[in-house]
C-alpha cells in the first residue's frame, strides 16, 4: 500500500512522561485498509475466532516447525560428520574443527542485518523459500569438501543463508497470533526434535562405506532442504492480508483480533526514526547481552557434545544414537516453559510470569552444568545424564525470543530488533567453541566452566530486563487514561513503536 497518512498521536519515551502531541507522517500498516473496508461489518464472536485460529494453526505450525528443525539439522552436520572421519578426511589440525563450528556464525552475523531488510522489503515467505533453495545446494556442496578452507567457506555461506529463517518465523508468528497465543505456538514449532532425526540419520549412515559416511550425511540433509523449500514457497503465506487459504472475512477477523496488542501486522516502508529509537532503547541492549550469554551453551554443545559422548567410550554409531535424548530434553524444556507461560497467562491474566519461567529453566541447566563439571570422570552414566539436562537452556531461550517479539512494536524496529537478538546469538556461538580446547578432550573443563558462567550472567541480565518492563508499565498506567479501551483510533494499525504508543504495555 502506498497511501500516505498523517496522524496525531501521543508520543512517549521510555525514560520520561508523555510528550506534547506532534505530527508523525508515515505509511500505515498493511492491515489498516482492510479493517477500514470492514468497519461497517458485524463483529466476530468467540466461536468464529476459534474456528479461524484452528485453521491458521493447521496451516502455519507444521511449516514453522520445519523452518526451525531443518536449520537445527544443518548445524549438527559437522559434529555428526566428526564421528565418521570428517576431521581426518579434511586433515584438520589443532583447533581447526572448532573454527568450522564458529564459521557458520560469522556468516550469520554478517548477514543478519541485511536479511532483516530483506524480510521487511520483500515477501517474507517467498524470501525464506528462496533462501532454503540456495542453502540446500550449498549443504550438498559441503559434502564434497576436501580440506579445511572449502568447508569453512561453505559453513560461512550456510550461516548467511540461515540468517532470515528464524527471524522470519517470529515475524510471521506476530502477524497471526496474539501475545497470549504466542507462547504455546512458539513451543510447538521451536523444539529439539531435530536431534531425533539427525540421530537416526547419523546411525543409518554408519552403515555406508567409511569414505562416504559423513559426506552422505551432508548430501541427504541438503536434498531434504531442497524438497522442503518448494513446500514453503507454495503453502506459507506472506501475511494475513495476502493469504489465499482464508476468505476476505477471515482475513478481517485475523487482523482485527490483533488490534488490542498494538503490535500491527506489517509495513514495507523503512522508517529511519525507528532505528534510532531502537539504539536508544535500554531493552535493546539488555536483550542483546542476554542472548550473548544464554546461547553460549548452545555454541559449545552443538559442536562438541557428540565428541564428549564418544570420549566416554562409545562407538561413533552409538554416540549418534545417544545424542537423541538431548533433543527430547530440549523439547521437554520448550514445552514446559512455553506451555507453562500460556496456561499461567490464562489462569492468572494479571500476573507477569514469562521471566520467571526463563529464570527457572536456566537454573535447571545451571545445576546440570555444575554436575557435569564436578562429577568424577569415571561416572559415565551420571555424566551422560548431566550432559542431557544441560540442554534445558532451550526453553528459556525460546521464551525470551517470544518476549522480545511481544515487546517490540513498529515494523522497522521489530525486524531490526530480531536482527540484534540473533546477532547476539551469533557472537556467543562464535565464541563458545573456542573454549572447548582440543587438548582438553573429552571432558573440556574450560568450556564447561564458561557455560556455568553464562548461566549466571543470563539470569542477572533477564532480571534487569524484567525490572525495566515493570517500571515502564507502572509509568504508563499513570499517564494513559485510555488503558482499558479496546479500540484506540489514534494508534491502531498506524505502525507506531512501543515507545511512541502510550497504550502499549510490556510483558515480562
Name the β-bridge partners of 23. Answer: 8
The whole-angstrom separation of Cα 323 and Cα 480 is 52
Residue 323 has pLDDT above 90, yes or no: no
The whole-angstrom separation of Cα 112 and Cα 124 is 14
Region 350-357: what's the mean pLDDT? 91
Q: What is the mean pLDDT of the chain?
A: 85
Residue 384 has pLDDT above 60, yes or no: yes
The whole-angstrom separation of Cα 356 and Cα 460 is 12
* pLDDT computed for residue 469 by the predictor: 96
* pLDDT computed for residue 19 by the predictor: 36
Residue 190: C-alpha distances to residues 182, 284, 313, 329, 352 (Å): 12, 23, 32, 13, 22
If one compares 330 and 264, the residue with the highest pLDDT of the two is: 330
* pLDDT computed for residue 270 by the predictor: 85
Region 151-175: what's the mean pLDDT? 92
* pLDDT computed for residue 264 by the predictor: 67
* pLDDT computed for residue 212 by the predictor: 85
Residue 378 has pLDDT above 60, yes or no: yes
**Residue 69 corresponds to which cell in the numbers above?**
528443525
Residue 102 has pLDDT above 90, yes or no: no
* pLDDT computed for residue 8 by the predictor: 32
* pLDDT computed for residue 482 by the predictor: 57
Residue 488 has pLDDT above 60, yes or no: no
**What is residue 376's three-state secondary structure?**
coil
Residue 14 has pLDDT above 70, yes or no: no
The whole-angstrom separation of Cα 432 and Cα 229 is 30
The angle formed by the CA atoms of residues 152, 161 and 457, to the nearest 5 degrees, is 80
* pLDDT computed for residue 27 by the predictor: 60
Residue 492 has pLDDT above 60, yes or no: no
Helix (H) or strand (E) holding 9: strand 8-9
Residue 213: count other Cβ atoms within 10 Å of its Cβ.
Answer: 23
Q: Residue 493 — very low, low, confident or very high, per pLDDT cuts 50/70/90?
A: low
Q: Give the contacts of 290 (CB within 8 A, at least 6 positions apart).
A: 400, 424, 458, 461, 462, 465
* pLDDT computed for residue 28 by the predictor: 63
Residue 18 has pLDDT above 60, yes or no: no
Q: How many CA atoms lie within 13 A of 200 on its CB side?
A: 6
* pLDDT computed for residue 15 by the predictor: 41
State pLDDT tens for residues 246-257: 998 999 898 888
Residue 5 has pLDDT above 60, yes or no: no
Region 380-387: what's the mean pLDDT? 87
The whole-angstrom separation of Cα 340 and Cα 444 is 34
Q: Residue 23 — very low, low, confident or very high, per pLDDT cuts 50/70/90?
A: very low
Phi/psi for 270 (5° steps) reads: -75, 125
Query: Of 281, 477, 266, 287, nearest to 399 (Cα)?
Result: 287
Domains assigned to the chain: 29-253+273-479 (1.20.1250.20)
Asked if 411 contacts 405 with a C-beta cutoff of 8 angstroms, the reply is no
State pLDDT tens for residues 210-223: 678 899 999 999 99
**Is the C-alpha dihedral spanning 431, 165, 331, 285 positive or negative?**
positive
Asked if 127 contacts 232 with a C-beta cutoff of 8 angstroms, the reply is no
**Residue 496 corresponds to which cell in the numbers above?**
507506531
The whole-angstrom separation of Cα 178 and Cα 406 is 9
**Residue 446 corresponds to which cell in the numbers above?**
574450560
Most confident segment among 132-136, 486-490, 498-502:
132-136
Region 376-398: what's the mean pLDDT? 89
Lowest-pLDDT choice from 113-117, 199-203, 280-284:
199-203
State pLDDT tens for residues 235-287: 999 999 889 999 989 998 988 888 877 666 777 788 889 999 999 999 999 99
The whole-angstrom separation of Cα 162 and Cα 359 is 28
If one compares 30 and 506, the residue with the highest pLDDT of the two is: 506
**What is residue 152's three-state secondary structure?**
helix
* pLDDT computed for residue 133 by the predictor: 95
Region 141-161: what's the mean pLDDT? 94
What percent of the chain is predicted at pLDDT more than 70? 90
Q: Residue 192 — very low, low, confident or very high, per pLDDT cuts 50/70/90?
A: confident
Most confident segment among 83-92, 278-287, 308-317, 494-503:
278-287
The angle formed by the CA atoms of residues 307, 68 and 287, to the nearest 5 degrees, is 90
**Residue 412 corresponds to which cell in the numbers above?**
522497522
Residue 12 has pLDDT above 60, yes or no: no
Region 438-444: what's the mean pLDDT? 77
* pLDDT computed for residue 491 by the predictor: 52
3-state secondary structure 402-464: HHHHHCCCCHHHHHHHHHHHHHHHHHHHHHHHHHCCHHHCCCCHHHHHHHHHHHHHHHHHHHH
The angle formed by the CA atoms of residues 228, 184 and 123, to the nearest 5 degrees, is 40
Q: Residue 21 — very low, low, confident or very high, per pLDDT cuts 50/70/90?
A: very low
The whole-angstrom separation of Cα 399 and Cα 179 is 12
Amino acid at each position: 500500500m502506498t497511501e500516505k497518512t498523517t496522524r496525531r498521536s501521543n508520543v512517549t519515551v521510555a525514560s520520561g512522561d508523555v510528550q506534547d502531541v506532534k505530527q508523525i507522517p508515515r505509511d500505515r500498516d498493511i492491515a489498516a485498509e482492510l479493517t477500514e473496508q470492514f468497519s461497517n461489518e458485524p463483529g466476530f464472536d468467540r466461536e468464529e475466532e476459534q474456528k479461524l485460529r484452528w485453521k491458521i494453526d493447521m496451516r502455519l505450525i507444521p511449516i514453522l516447525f520445519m523452518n526451525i528443525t531443518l536449520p537445527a539439522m544443518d548445524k549438527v552436520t559437522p559434529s555428526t560428520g566428526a564421528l565418521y572421519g570428517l576431521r581426518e578426511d579434511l586433515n584438520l589440525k589443532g583447533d581447526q574443527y572448532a573454527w568450522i563450528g564458529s564459521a557458520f556464525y560469522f556468516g550469520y552475523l554478517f548477514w543478519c542485518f541485511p536479511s532483516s531488510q530483506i524480510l521487511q522489503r520483500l515477501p517474507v515467505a517467498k524470501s525464506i523459500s528462496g533462501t532454503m533453495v540456495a542453502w540446500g545446494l550449498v549443504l550438498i556442496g559441503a559434502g564434497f569438501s576436501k580440506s579445511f578452507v572449502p568447508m569453512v567457506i561453505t559453513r560461512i555461506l550456510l550461516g548467511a543463508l540461515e540468517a532470515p529463517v528464524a527471524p522470519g518465523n517470529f515475524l510471521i508468528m506476530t502477524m497471526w497470533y496474539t501475545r497470549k497465543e504466542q507462547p504455546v505456538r512458539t513451543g510447538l514449532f521451536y523444539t529439539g526434535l531435530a536431534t531425533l532425526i539427525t540421530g537416526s540419520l547419523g546411525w543409518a549412515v554408519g552403515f555406508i562405506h567409511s569414505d562416504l559416511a559423513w559426506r552422505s550425511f551432508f548430501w541427504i540433509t541438503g536434498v531434504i532442504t531442497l524438497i522442503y523449500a518448494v513446500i514453503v514457497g507454495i503453502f506459507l503465506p506472506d501475511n494475513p492480508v495476502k493469504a489465499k487459504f482464508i476468505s476476505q472475512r477471515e482475513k478481517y477477523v485475523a487482523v482485527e483480533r490483533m488490534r488490542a496488542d498494538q503490535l500491527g501486522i506489517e509495513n514495507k516502508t523503512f522508517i529511519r526514526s525507528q532505528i534510532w529509537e531502537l539504539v536508544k532503547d535500554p531493552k535493546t541492549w539488555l536483550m542483546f547481552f542476554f542472548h550473548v550469554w544464554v546461547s553460549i551453551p548452545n555454541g559449545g554443545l552443538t559442536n562438541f557434545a557428540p565428541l564428549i559422548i564418544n570420549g566416554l567410550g562409545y562407538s561413533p554409531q552409538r554416540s549418534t544414537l545417544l545424542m537423541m535424548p538431548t533433543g527430547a530434553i530440549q523439547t521437554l524444556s520448550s514445552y514446559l516453559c512455553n506451555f507453562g507461560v500460556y496456561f499461567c497467562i490464562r489462569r492468572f491474566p494479571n500476573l507477569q510470569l514469562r521471566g520467571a519461567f526463563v529464570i527457572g529453566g536456566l537454573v535447571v541447566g545451571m545445576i546440570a552444568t555444575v554436575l557435569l563439571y564436578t562429577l568424577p570422570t569415571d561416572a559415565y552414566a551420571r555424566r551422560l545424564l548431566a550432559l542431557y539436562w544441560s540442554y534445558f537452556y532451550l526453553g528459556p531461550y525460546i521464551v525470551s525470543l517470544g518476549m522480545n517479539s511481544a515487546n517490540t512494536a513498529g515494523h522497522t524496529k521489530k525486524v531490526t530488533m530480531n536482527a540484534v537478538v540473533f546477532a547476539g546469538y551469533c557472537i556467543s556461538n562464535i565464541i563458545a567453541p573456542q573454549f572447548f580446547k582440543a587438548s582438553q578432550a573429552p571432558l573440556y573443563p574450560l568450556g564447561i566452566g564458561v557455560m556455568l558462567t553464562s548461566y549466571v550472567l543470563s539470569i542477572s541480565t533477564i532480571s534487569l530486563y524484567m525490572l525495566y518492563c515493570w517500571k515502564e508499565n507502572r509509568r504508563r498506567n499513570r499517564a494513559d487514561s485510555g488503558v482499558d479501551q479496546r479500540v484506540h483510533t489514534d494508534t491502531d494499525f498506524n505502525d507506531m513503536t512501543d515507545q511512541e504508543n502510550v497504550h502499549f504495555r510490556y510483558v515480562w
